[in-house]
Structure 1
Amino acid sequence: MDVLSAMNIYVRVVDLKSFSLAAEEMGISSSSVSKQISHLEQHIGARLLQRTTRRLSVTEVGAAYYEKCQKIISQVEEAENLVSQLQGQPRGVLRIYCNMTFGQMQLAKAIPAFMEAYPDIQVDVTLDDRAPDLVRDGFDLAIRIADPQLPDSSLIAREISKVPMFICATPEYLEANGTPECAEDLKKHNCLVFVHASNANQWSLEREGRRCTVQVDGDVKANNSLVVRETVLANRGIANLAYFVIARFVESGDLVRVFPQYEPEKLSIFAVYPDRKYISPKVSAFIEFFQAWLEQNLQQQWPQD
């Protein structure tokens, strides 16, 4: 029995709380997973998991063993990363976790160019607006906007770019409801909120070094910024959205900036990754590539005042 391989399977079973999900992720059969766990239990002479038809739970011994297995696997990865660094060739599977809309509209465009530049890297992308547990879920890095969301000190957050946020509406909405002149005027309007934004219902305006923040409210709140954008386009209210979400509609005149005389609020884009002694070459390569890609393809698209 390959003990290290069995440990890796055991860790994924515990993380996913499922034999079948672990099998699917690792590309093996559920029966193979079950056999590996059984062999591992026989090898150490203790029950690791309690299995029923409805539930999978970790024993006390299993929980302690799980923590040790995680550390061992991490140390093996670090050793392999060190060799790879010395050889200077990024390779392997790169697992990325990213905000939903940003992933669809920006990351998806960058990945083909990255893979062309690094043909020995395979990319596995998960899009979700909720913050992941990178270590538990086995991700190499996450791309997060505004809030790096570091649950513990084992993670590093590196700022790689910024995103301007623009308060916008349709000309039709403003004609029917009036155009706000200052931040306080927003309280009189139907403000549509993207709930996962760090500035969800606290919108800020800045001019000549003076900032004003106002709490807004409206009849639509959504966990996806594209839902908010479509509601704005339907003349339902005012929204505060990242420029890459609304750029083509601003350019076409379907949306207008409500406060063009004010500085846009800028949110940070972070690359978040586990704090390991040796950062994986594939992670380092992607961060450097994506930072340069964003500078060329995102920042240069910002409107000029």
Structure 2
Amino acid sequence: MELLSYMRLFVEVARTKSFRRAAEALDMPNSTLSRHIAELEKTIGLQLLHRSTRKVELTAAGEVYFKRCQSIVEEARMAHESLVDVVERPIGTLRVSMAVDLAIGYFAPILSEFAQAYPLISFEFDLTPRRVDLQSEPFDLAIRIGPPPTAPSTLVARQIGLLPRYLYASPGYLKAAPPLNHPDDLIHHVVCIVQGATNQEEIQRTFYRGNEAVDVMIASRFRMNSVGLSRALAILGVCIAVLDTELTRDEVASGRLRRVLPDWSLAPVPVHAITDTRLLPARTRLFIDFIKARLHQAASK
């Protein structure tokens, strides 16, 4: 890299035939430029320039070297500009891994809007709860709900949103079930527990109302890793589900679900965009920023 940099300096001196003009064009001190050219001559073991108080002339070796260096420096410049173009232009295929509930329940409208805004980007979505290996599999990023991964340490997790969580049930369930006036009453109810694989028969959940917090041990016949299934079971009157306003908007409007214990909520769940590097092409950076902005807008409603 240092040799290529020296070549670029030499080409500018040879082109202008002046250290002063070359230094001005390169925006560097004349003495620094002169020292770098001397180091280049020392590295290749040949004198490239005849220096005098009036002018700078190429030696025979300098003439040959100048012709070769011009093309090399130009090729390097073009290569750099082409990479900058790839980084800055929103174009290419965006490969994203996310859970199916997340994609359908939250991101489908956002993806539609993003696709319209950036027509040169194409998409490949892998809708799976498995933890894809971003270092060995061809994904640009993974979007996950919950805490950021702790391994491998090279992964970069950017928090892009917080999903609020409330309790919802069908009118039929609430009519047939015992009264529900406080989180402690959940011990008498059926609550769908959405969590990864677990052998625990009881799960502790903390409910919040302003500065007040209540810990409740919830036992359930239904434990799963799908928010969509818990919502479907709640609509059918099987259980109470932990959901958010975005996932329940249509069901609440149609009367199929009601929010219960409306003064209480669970802690919101973070959403992370995970990549294996901080150096991202334009399409990936734009996608992450776009989702973050839309999730913020939804949370502000």
Q: TM-score range by the shorter chain?
A: 0.5 to 0.7
Q: Which residue of 2 aligns with 1:127?
A: 127
SS in 1 for 2:147: coil
- Report which of the two structures shows the higher radius of gyration computed on alpha carbons: 2
* SS across alignment from 1:136: coil
Q: How does 1:116-265 map to 2 (within 5 A)?
A: 116-196=116-196, 201-265=203-267
In 2, Cα distance between equivalents of 1:244 and 1:82: 42
Structure 1 match to 2:291: 290
Which residue matches 2:88? 88
Shift in CA distance, 170/81, structure 1 to aligned 2, threshold 3 Å: farther
Relative to 1, partners in 2 of residues 1:175 and 1:138: Cα closer, same or farther, differing over 3 Å? same
Match of 2:109, SS state, is helix
Q: How far apart, in 1, do the equivalents of 2:102 and 2:81 lie?
A: 29
Q: Do the aligned partners of 2:178 and 2:188 also contact (CA within 8 Å) in 1?
A: no
Distance 2:94 2:275 in 1: 12
Alpha-carbon contact 2:87-2:282 (below 8 Å) kept: no
Unaligned runs of 5+ in 2: 1-78
Report the CA distance shift for 1:247/1:82 in structure 2 as closer, same or farther (over 3 A).
farther
Instruction: Please state how far the C-alpha of 1:197 moved relative to its aligned partner.
Output: 9.8
Q: Distance in 2 between matches of 1:145 and 1:216?
A: 21
**TM norm structure 2:** 0.65
State the number of aligned residues. Answer: 220
**Rounded Cα–Cα distance in structure 1 between residues aligned with 2:92 and 2:204:** 42
Residue 220 of structure 1: CA displacement?
1.9
- Once the 2 structures are TM-superposed, how far is the Cα of residue 284 of structure 1 from its aligned partner? 0.6
Matched, 1:272 2:274: yes
Give distance in 2, aligned partners of 1:81 and 1:160.
31
Does structure 2 conserve the Cα–Cα contact (< 8 Å) formed by 1:203 and 1:240? no
Secondary structure of 1:94 counterpart: strand
**Residue 196 to residue 248, structure 1, CA distance change in 2 (3 Å):** farther
Distance 1:284 1:193 in 2: 34
The amino acid that maps onto 2:258 is V
Query: Using the alignment, how far apart are the partners of 1:217 and 1:257 within structure 2?
Result: 20
1:105 Cα shift? 2.5
- Structure 1 residues 228 and 219 mapped into 2: Cα distance closer, same or farther (>3 Å)? same
CA distance 1:281–1:87, shift in 2 (3 Å): closer
TM-score normalised by length of structure 1? 0.64
**AA matched with 1:299:** A
Secondary structure of 1:154's counterpart equals coil
Deviation string 1:80-128 (CA, Å, 9 cap, x unpaired) is: 8992368721222111011211101332222232223222321111111
Q: Output one character per residue of 1:148-191: Cα deviation in whole Å (capped at 9) or x when no partner.
A: 23422111111112111111112222222223222222122111
The letter of the residue matching 2:299 is: Q
CA contact (8 A) 2:92 2:283 kept: yes
State the alpha-carbon separation in 2 of the partners of residues 123 and 299 from structure 1.
26
